[in-house]
Amino acid sequence: MSYQEIPIEKLVVNTDNDRHGPVSNEAEAISWHFDNLGKLAITLASDIAKAGQIYEQPLVSKSGSKYIVRDGNRRMTCLKSLLNPSIVLDSHYRKVFEQLSERINKKDFKNILCRVEDDEETINEIVHRRHTGGASGVGQVKWDAFAKENHLNRIGKTDSSSIGVAVANYAAQIGIIDDPKTVPSSTLKRLLSSKDIRERMGLVISGNEVSFSQDDRAARQILKQVIQDLINREVTLRDLWDVAGKNAYLDKLFKEGFAVLPVRKGAKGQTKKGKQAAEAGKNKPQCPLDIRQTLIPKGINFDNAEKKPGLSKIWRVWDELQTKLYINRSPCAVGVMFRCLIWFSVEHYISSRGVKSPPQELKGRVKAVAQDMLQKELIDQPYLKVIISYADSEKLVSVAAAHQWVHSQDLVPDVRPLRQMWETLERFLCVCLKIDLA
């Protein structure tokens, strides 16, 4: 192998190029490129004219006094056509190349740096690796969209299409996710393409720089949930196709307790629910915290329970989960306290109702209490199945998950599983504590 500067008149466009197969002569090979790849030829030629050079050296082999181009025939076709537009047979393309030809300094292309190979087997292997894909890692593996946008960011040629990758990278930097490539960046880009949506989420994006504009903890929780929804395909591109769909999704997060800002009054795509939320929060800088920001809804009364024997600590835990601990701000504390509430409630039922010989572990005690409730007609058969499923499951809404919230050093509760677990157990816990849900 060697690299040599070769006079361009000695370089010949390959008449046996794999793109088109054998043709009669170089003129026919050049014509094929314009007949089949003409628009791409204009793009490539424009780039060459602007750069004043080519960035990839052609691969050539010596043939008599000439050199046959074995890889890089599109580049060579464009170079020769820029230097001599008369070889372009198509009148339209010839006119374009005549105009481009005026922009170049022909002396820059008098000699072309090429990679020269004599061994046919080596030439074939090089071409194979360049043009047949990754070949299970042997050849050149093409960049995916994420890698391409990372490259654009690095060299300063980014645009709005890089928003999704920039935010995914930021989420990884602050520990929301481990691998930013797991995020559907094109869907995230679609959601964040609207400035109003970014404002509602508390995000500020300037070029490749991402930051939070409102309370960091609240905005972090919003971004985390959005990314999880995208990864789990809870939300897809179809859901976020227009501004109304984007606002509807954020309104849903708002209802679930996330501190999403209301839609600006008069903003495009404002939904009916969004307008109501905006009206409710128009005099507040952030969404009102009394919109179910806590685990336990405020409408469930547990009055004066602190005065009853055996209920004093349970009442304090209940009160903190209902009035003091905001689920977005303190998910770990809420998870641990919720696990305690489940245990205390089950124990209170067992002692006050005289459940005999319950198992030692929480899973078995929950099932024993639920069976006793059914026998006493405090719950029905369908709800018993729900509680048994909760006790036996290993999913995010389960006894096992609640146990991990306390004992695992790695598992941090998320807002949605916490709320889902409350919705599952609300009736069960209220029966345990003799709280009237009506």
Q: According to the model, what pLDDT value does residue 96 have?
A: 94
Q: What is the pLDDT at residue 15? A: 94
User: In whole angstroms, what is the distance from residue 355 CA to residue 349 CA?
Assistant: 8
Beta carbons of 253 and 225 less than 8 angstroms apart: yes
What pLDDT shows up at residue 185? 84
pLDDT at 69: 96
Give the separation between CA 53 and CA 112, rounded to whole angstroms.
9
pLDDT at 11: 97
Residue 331 has, within 13 A of its CA and on its CB side, a CA count of 21
Q: Are 180 and 171 in contact (CB under 8 A)?
A: yes
How crowded is residue 307: how many other Cβ atoms within 10 Å of its Cβ? 9
Q: What single-letter DSSP state applies at residue 28?
A: H
Q: Which residues of the chain have pLDDT under 70?
A: 133-162, 207, 214-215, 264-292, 299, 303-309, 436-438
pLDDT of residue 416: 80
Per-residue model confidence as pLDDT tens digits over 275-325: 554 454 443 333 333 346 788 887 677 765 545 667 888 988 998 998 888
CA distance 197 to 254: 13
Closest by Cα among 176, 179, 172, 170 to 198:
170
- Rounded Cα–Cα distance for residues 416 and 334 (Å): 12
The answer to whether 33 touches 77, Cβ cutoff 8 Å, is yes
Per-residue confidence (pLDDT) for residue 307, from 0 to 100? 54
- pLDDT attached to residue 160: 47
R_g of the chain computed on alpha carbons: 34
Q: What is the rounded distance in angstroms from the CA atom of residue 324 to the CA atom of residue 305? A: 17
Q: Of 230, 289, 228, nearest to 257 (Cα)? A: 289
Domain boundaries, the chain: 2-137, 145-280, 305-432
Angle between helices 331-353 and 312-319 (to 10 degrees): 150
